[in-house]
Amino acid sequence: MAAVAVWMSGGPAVRRAAELALTGSDADVHAFVAGGRAAAADQDLRAKVEELVAVSGPGVREKVLAALAVGTPAALQDFLGNGSKAPFEHDQRVLLSQIQYAGGPGVRDAAKEVPGTTRRSPSPLRRLSVNEQRGLSTA
């Protein structure tokens, strides 16, 4: 039953490995429990971090690539847990500057209100950038 729960809650690699174990022999189930699950979870973690390279700004991308270069699950987990916040907030501030520069008067006025809140949470930056990308705040 534990393998079924892992199959239901795991990432793509974990689900594949659990499915192979569940449809295989007793030895396959034992191999999955003994180390296959951990190896598959490491693959899922690496894939999650690799996805960030394509969708992140330069600060996050630099830190992602450094974590990937170390290559250990601990380095990847550390990046996701502790190492992504500061570069993400920096990338958001850069994006805000770009939006402010390229936007119309309404966007520039809205952007002036955001910098004080970025130290606590980048969410206002995300809202502004999403609105700008949708063309909602270009007045």
Do 96 and 79 lie in a common domain?
no
* Portion of the chain with pLDDT greater than 90, in percent: 17
How many structural domains does the chain have?
2
Do 77 and 119 lie in a common domain?
no
CA pair distance 62, 80, nearest whole angstrom: 13
Q: Degrees (nearest 5) of the Cα angle 55, 61, 121?
A: 75
CA pair distance 67, 56, nearest whole angstrom: 14
What are the tens digits of pLDDT across the range 6-34? 767 788 999 999 888 889 999 988 998 89
Do 66 and 94 lie in a common domain?
no
Do 67 and 122 lie in a common domain?
no
Q: Degrees (nearest 5) of the Cα angle 94, 100, 52?
A: 35
In a domain, 58, yes or no: yes
Do 68 and 92 lie in a common domain?
no
Give the model's pLDDT for residue 127. 55
Give the model's pLDDT for residue 100. 80
For 16-20, 27-31, 69-73, 101-105, which range has the lowest pLDDT when averaged over its residues?
Answer: 101-105
In a domain, 19, yes or no: yes
Average pLDDT over residues 92-98: 83
Do 54 and 112 lie in a common domain?
no
Do 95 and 72 lie in a common domain?
no
Residue 14 neighbours by CB distance under 10 Å? 23
Range of the structural domain that residue 127 is part of: 88-134
Q: What's the one-letter identity of residue 90? A: H
In a domain, 115, yes or no: yes
Q: What would the two tokens of residue 86 be?
A: 């500061």
Do 68 and 98 lie in a common domain?
no
In a domain, 99, yes or no: yes
